[in-house]
Amino acid sequence: MESQPDPLAQAIGVRVKRERIARGWTLDQLAERSGVSRRMIVNVEQGAANPSLETLLRISDALGMGLPALVEPPAPKTAKVTRAGEGATLWRGEQGGFGMLMAGTEPPNVVELWEWVLAPGDRHESDAHASGTREMLLVTEGAVTVSVGNDAYDLVVGDTVSFYADIEHTYVNAQESRARLVLCAYEPGVGIAHGAETDND
Question: Would you give per-residue pLDDT tens digits along the chain (201 residues)?
Answer: 445 557 888 889 999 999 999 999 999 999 999 999 999 999 999 988 778 899 999 999 999 888 888 887 666 667 888 899 999 999 999 999 999 999 998 888 999 999 999 999 999 999 999 899 999 999 999 999 999 999 999 999 999 999 999 999 999 999 999 999 999 999 998 876 544 344 444
Q: Please name the residue ranges forming H helices in the chain.
A: 7-22, 27-34, 38-45, 53-63, 67-71, 192-200
Q: Evaluate if pTM is beyond 0.75.
A: yes
Q: Which residues contact 155 (CB under 8 A, 6 or more apart)?
A: 137, 139, 143, 144, 145, 146, 161
Q: Does residue 63 lie in a domain region?
A: yes
* CATH number reported for the structural domain that contains residue 178 in this entry: 2.60.120.10
Work out whether the CA dihedral 43, 44, 48, 52 comes out positive or negative: positive
Structural domain boundaries enclosing 40: 7-74
What is the number of structural domains in the chain? 2
Strand partners, 138: 160, 182
Distance CA 131, CA 165 (A): 8
- Domain termination site, one of 52, 74, 96: 74
* CATH number reported for the structural domain that contains residue 30 in this entry: 1.10.260.40
